[in-house]
Every structure is written in C-alpha cells, then in structure tokens.
C-alpha cells in the first residue's frame, strides 16, 4: 500500500522532473520528431506522467494504478520517475525501500494531519518539493491503529515434502551482479544437496568456460537482468547467445528450469532470463516447468522466492519419488505437475 502511494505521488510530482538525453545519430522518432545527433532533449516527466493518452483521469491521485494487474496495461514508457535506460537511477530500489520503512515507522508512531489545508507550492532546487508545508504530528493512540486480522503471523505454505535425489547430478547456475541470484542459487543448491542430489553451484560464465556437457543433468538457472542485459556473471553467456553459439546444439538429454530475478518497475522486465529460457528450450532440452519469476517490486522476499521454487520442487519430473507425504499440500502452480 505505501509503495503504491509513493508511486502515485512520484507520478504526479516526479521529484527529479526532467532528464536529458541526446541521440548518437540523427533520428526521427514517432514518425515526425527530428532529433539531431548530440543535441540534448529534455524528457519532462511532469508532462509525460499526466498525459491523458497514457493515464486515464491523469490528474486523479489513484494508488490502484500501480496494482500489478493495472501496471500490465500501462505503456512501458509512460512512467519515468527514475529516468530511463542505462543511466537510470541506480538508487531506485534503495530509495523505495528506505521511503517505505520511513513512512511505516512514522505512521506507526504518529498521527499526522494538515490542519491548515495546505495548497501546494513548488520549491525548486535540484529536485522539486513542497514549499512551506507544515504538518501537525502527535503520538498515535491505540484506538487509531487499524486492526487487520488476528495479528498472528500466517506461515507461508512453501514446504512440499521430502524428496530423494538418488545421487543424480544437479547443477545450479547463477547470473548475478549484486548477489541476489547467487544467494538464491546457493540456497537452492543447499536444499537439493540435502535431498540427495550431487550438486554443483557456479556462475553461468564459469559453466560456459568449463564447457560442461548438459546431457545427464538437472540444470536450474537463476538469472537476474540489468536494463534487459546479462548481469556481471553471465556476460560471456550473453555474448555466446549474441553469436548464435547455441543454435543447432542438441541438449535433448538435459532437464532444465529457469528462475528469473527481476523488477517489474524496469521496462525490460525479466528480459535476460526469458532469453536464456528460450535459447535452452531451442536445444531440445526438457522443460521441467515454466520459467518462474521473482519480482523484487512486489515483495521479492524470501517467501516469494521459495514460492517460485516450490513450484520447481513440486514438479515430479525433476525429482525422484517423494519419500514421505508432504506436511502441507504442495503448491501445484506449474503446468507439468
Ligand atoms: C525517490 C528517490 C529518487 C528519485 C525520484 C531518483 C531519480 C533519478 C533519476 C530521474 C535519475 C536519472 C537522471 C538523468 O538521467 O539525468 C537518477 C539517476 C541516479 N540516481 Fe536517483 N533517484 C532517487 C533516489 C536515489 C538514491 C537514494 C540514490 C543513491 C543511493 C540515487 C542515485 C542515483 C545515481 C547514482 C544516478 C545516476 C546513474 C547514472 O548516471 O548511471 N538516486 N535518479
Ligand atoms: C540499474 C538496474 C537495472 C535493472 N534493470 C532491470 C531490467 O531491465 N529488468 C528487470 O527485470 N530487472 C531489472 N533490475 C532489477 C534487478 O534485476 C534485480 O534487482 C535483481 O534482484 C538483481 O539481482 P542480483 O543482485 O543477483 O544482481 C535492474 C536493477 C538495477 C539496479
């Protein structure tokens, strides 16, 4: 909820209102706009974000615009509060996490009001902000707290029971820059090892360099993406894909699954994992389950990750026979179970 409020506030009043770009070559965009090489152009978010063609009732403050089902209907370039492309904000996820935590802590402790009916006046420095905006703050009383449910934590149903791996080879490959995909890969490997698989975990590039044949293995790839491109530990794989190195390869003996790690706030959401998935599928390898996605923007939490992975673990094609019934019902979200 807080994230949706922040998104909508940033849509109507992007704190860094323009960013500047210039084309490398003369170009015509939208069939009529002539842009000259190296001539800077300002992209003015306050105009873009209120464009009625992109945003119905564009002046309305409506936090439901950033519900996932509605985001899917937006034009991919209609929201640019954090800039665009390779020079987009690298602090985006940090800023959103920090703002959410700060808001939650403030609202938990204090009740906030605007006794003077403030009318917005913009103060402009490097960023824009409200000028002379004062709020009234007092300690929040117990009766002012919203009661949701019983307050008891509800356990995520992610266990799918014990599994016997019978010494089968199992490779977990990761493509990561900052380490999220690697962490997930290592946790998956750990679990598979406990389940009795002979596990190796390494980066996608290391695996490519080793030239390991995939025929007799279960391969799980956990890959992130940056601006739709490969993360640091998969750049050589991306180069090989660009060069068509896997075209015509026959990996029909391999069984594989891809878990993409991305953030749907970026226009090229999950682009690299999708590309990897399609390339491996084209080799004739057996697809164990549909590509799973972890979306950092909608709670890419451990629970979400394990929910994604539980689908893989619930896939009977991947594992040998379960040794005892599940403690909780398995999550049967994948198409092959
Ligand atoms: C709500 C908060 C924020 C907003 C709205 C925002 C917005 C932006 C925008 C629009 C750009 C692109 C500027 C351009 O293309 O000229 C940008 C770039 C950048 N931002 Fe943020 N930002 C925020 C928070 C942060 C934070 C917290 C950090 C650091 C921890 C940060 C670090 C950067 C950096 C380093 C760049 C330049 C990236 C590059 O040129 O490769 N930002 N930001
Ligand atoms: C500069 C930057 C660019 C990103 N670009 C994309 C993108 O194009 N598509 C996407 O789905 N996620 C994108 N993300 C989100 C990352 O893929 C996500 O944060 C992921 O968890 C990073 O994994 P890693 O820690 O393993 O590198 C981007 C993140 C950053 C910081």
Q: Do 61 and 137 sit in the same domain of this protein?
A: yes
- Looking at the fold, whether 194 and 227 belong to one and the same domain comes out as yes
Give the chain's residues under pLDDT 50: 150-163, 300, 314-337
Angle at 271 between CA 266 and CA 274, to 5 degrees: 145
CA–CA separation, 90 vs 88, rounded Å? 6
Residue 266 inside a domain? The answer is yes
Within a domain: 224: yes
Q: What is the pLDDT at residue 328?
A: 31
Same domain, yes or no, for 292 and 186? yes
- Check residue 239 and give its pLDDT: 96
Specify the ligand 2 atom closest to the Cα of 268: 8
pLDDT at position 326:
31
Q: For residue 305, what pLDDT is reported?
A: 56
8 & 106 share domain: yes
In this structure, is residue 181 part of a structural domain? yes
Residues 173, 309, single domain; the answer is yes
223 and 301, same domain (yes or no) = yes
Same domain, 256 and 300: yes
Measured CA to CA, the distance from residue 196 to residue 25 in angstroms comes to: 57
Task: Please check whether residue 30 lies inside any domain of the structure.
Answer: no
Residue 41 Cα to ligand 2 midpoint, Å, equals 26
Residue 174 confidence (pLDDT): 95
What is the predicted pLDDT for the residue at 316? 38
| pLDDT for the residue numbered 78 | 94
What is the model's pLDDT at position 55? 96
Q: What pLDDT, on a 0 to 100 scale, did the predictor assign at position 121?
A: 95
Residue 245 in domain:
yes
| Domain total of the chain | 2
Cα–Cα distance, 188 to 309 (Å, whole number):
8
305 found inside a domain: yes
CATH number, domain of 279, equals 3.40.50.360
CA-closest residue to ligand 2 atom 8: 227
pLDDT of residue 302: 54
The ligand minimizing its distance to the Cα of 18 is 1
User: Which residues span the domain enclosing 61?
Assistant: 2-25+36-84+91-144
- 177 shares its domain with 309: yes
Same domain (yes/no): 140, 241: no
Q: Please tell me whether residues 61 and 12 are part of one structural domain.
A: yes
Query: Is residue 157 included in any domain, yes or no?
Result: no
The reply to whether 133 and 178 lie within a common domain is no
State the pLDDT at residue 213. 62
- Ligand 2 atom nearest 181 alpha carbon: 26
Half-sphere exposure at residue 122, Cβ-oriented, CA atoms within 13 angstroms: 12
């Amino acid at each position: 909820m807080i994230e949706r409020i922040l998104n909508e506030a940033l849509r109507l009043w992007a704190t860094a209102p323009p960013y500047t770009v210039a084309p490398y070559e003369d170009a015509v965009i939208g069939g009529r706009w002539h842009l000259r090489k190296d001539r800077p152009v300002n992209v003015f978010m306050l105009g873009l974000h209120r464009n009625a063609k992109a945003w119905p009732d564009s002046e309305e403050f409506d936090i439901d615009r950033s519900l996932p089902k509605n985001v899917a209907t937006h034009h991919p370039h209609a929201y640019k509060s954090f800039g665009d492309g390779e020079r987009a904000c690298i602090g985006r996820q940090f800023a959103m996490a920090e703002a959410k935590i700060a808001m939650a802590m403030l609202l938990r402790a204090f009740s906030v009001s605007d006794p003077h009916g403030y009318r917005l006046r913009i103060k402009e420095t490097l960023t824009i902000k409200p000028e002379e905006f004062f709020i009234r703050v007092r300690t929040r009383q117990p009766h002012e707290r919203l009661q949701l449910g019983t307050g008891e934590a509800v356990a995520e149903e992610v266990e799918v029971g014990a599994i016997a791996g019978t010494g089968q080879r199992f490779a977990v490959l990761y493509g990561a820059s900052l380490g999220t995909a690697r962490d997930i890969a290592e946790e998956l490997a750990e679990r598979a090892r406990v389940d009795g698989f002979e596990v190796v975990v390494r980066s996608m590039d290391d695996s490519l360099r080793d030239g390991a044949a995939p025929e007799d293995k279960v391969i799980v790839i956990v890959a992130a993406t940056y601006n739709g491109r490969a993360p640091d530990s998969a750049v050589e794989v991306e180069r090989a894909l660009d060069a068509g190195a896997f075209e015509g390869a026959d990996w029909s003996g391999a069984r594989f699954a891809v878990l993409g790690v991305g953030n749907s706030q970026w226009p090229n959401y999950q682009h690299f994992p999708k590309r990897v998935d399609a390339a491996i599928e084209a080799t004739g390898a057996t697809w164990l389950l549909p590509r799973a996605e972890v979306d950092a923007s909608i709670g890419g939490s451990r629970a979400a990750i394990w929910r994604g992975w539980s689908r893989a673990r619930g896939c009977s094609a991947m594992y040998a026979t379960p040794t005892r019934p599940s403690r909780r019902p398995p999550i049967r979200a994948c198409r092959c179970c």
